[in-house]
Amino acid sequence: MKKAILILTASTFFILGNAQDTATKKGSSIGFKMGILDFKKTNGTDNLSKTVPYFGLQFFKGINTHLDAMVNLDVASLKYPFYVSKLIPQAKTNQYYFAIDANLNLKLRTDDKKVVPYLTGGVGFATDHGSYYTAYVPFGGGIQLKANQGSFINISSTYRAELSPLTKMHFAHSISYTYPLKLKNKKPVMIPEAPVAADADNDGVSGDADDCPNQSGLVKYHGCPVPDSDDDGVNDENDQCPNAVGPLKYHGCPIPDKDKDGINDEQDKCLNEKGLDRYQGCPIPDTDKDGINDEEDNCPTVAGIMGNHGCANLQSLIDRFASNLKFASGKTILNKQLLAGLDSIVLVMNAYPNMSLAIGGHTDNTGTLKINQKLSEQRALTVSAYLIKKGIAIKRVTTAGYADTRPIGDNKTVPGRAKNRRSDVIVLY
């Protein structure tokens, strides 16, 4: 820790000592500040008020017109909320807390302006009464207000992030008054003053009225060029979207997205349809035009149905293979020739594992309803038993008997009754 402090101090003075001297950069200044430290409370402990007052000194040295070096020395009395462990007990009484940090302030305006916002960042070290040491990284921002005779007021707020295991993250908010130091009384060198040009940039705005003395501008912008609020290269007077970045060809507005799919029109191949980036702004294609997009279609080049994941409806094929499942009057068995069609159904079911079958048994109107019901159920079981024997899972086959309630032929004729003594097979997906 001590070595790190020495390195930090040496680095700070190296920057200060090697800073180039310019007419408009800040001279060495020192000031007094006061503020509050805002610690985040830790679960299970409440030994520290949320905010703690502190006092300190600040030292400034300009590096150039937009960059200052700043050193802070802070003093407070507090119970530092260490992460409690066997080695670090919970604080019971207030102890003196000393912190020193070195920062670089990036000023968004030069010191001749009344109000100068800036960003700050650096590294710091602190000690709790010399017992424990912590390191932190302060970063944040502030506002510098111009005062009399080269002095100024600083209002800043920084977040001090953890840089060592004992450090507790917290905020530091402060206000300070700083005045310049005259380290040596040098005898002024008399240099003939060059004649001051009333309007150096020849823009028609002269003297203190010109906020941009080295840039040609307009009177209505106090001698500065026309602003470009969104920094897109299109000035605000020509920019139809001054708060959104866009190219000149769209008058400073972003590239349009006509179909609102998040893909701008210059990259979108389907300007009037919402699509996806991987399809260059077009919808997911449907190659076979069956209403099922190619990402969900198992048969993207052959029109099919949703139930079969985009593949063809197999019912007509199954009907053809099951067309010969006819039974003799009062019988429940099929000869080998009639069973041959079932072998083809087995092949189809193996090719489409997502399909199952509902097998129905039927009779003609000969006999009583009770006899016909049992007969129809047995005929359905005859077909399902064959399929199961051929390796089809039982759960993929269901059976039902319908007696003579679903005739397809005229029961008044012999050919009609022969048609009705059947089994039919319905495809389920």
Q: What are phi and psi of 153, to 5 degrees?
A: -110, 135
pLDDT at residue 172 is higher than 70: yes
Q: What is the average pLDDT across 174-179?
A: 93
pLDDT over 90 at 266, yes or no: no
Q: Which CATH architecture describes the domain 2-180?
A: Beta Barrel (2.40)
As a whole number, the mean pLDDT across the chain is: 85
Write the DSSP string, 139-182.
EEEEEEEE-GGG-EEEEEEEEEEE-STT---EEEEEEEEEEE--
Q: Return the structure tokens found at 172.
A: 């530091």
Domains 2-180 and 315-428 are alike in CATH topology: no
Q: Which helix (H) or strand (E) is 17 found in, with range?
A: helix 2-17
CATH class of the domain comprising 315-428: alpha beta
Residue 115 neighbours by CB under 8 Å, 6+ apart? 109, 143, 144, 145, 146
Q: Cα-Cα-Cα-Cα dihedral of 78, 82, 86, 90, to 10°?
A: 30
Q: Cα separation of 92 and 202, whole Å?
A: 69
Domain residue ranges of the chain, discontinuous segments joined by +: 2-180, 315-428
In the structure, what pLDDT confidence band is assigned to residue 79 with cuts at 50, 70 and 90?
confident
339 has a pLDDT exceeding 90: no
- Strand 356-361 to 397-401 pairing: parallel
Q: Which tokens is 214 given?
A: 């080295």
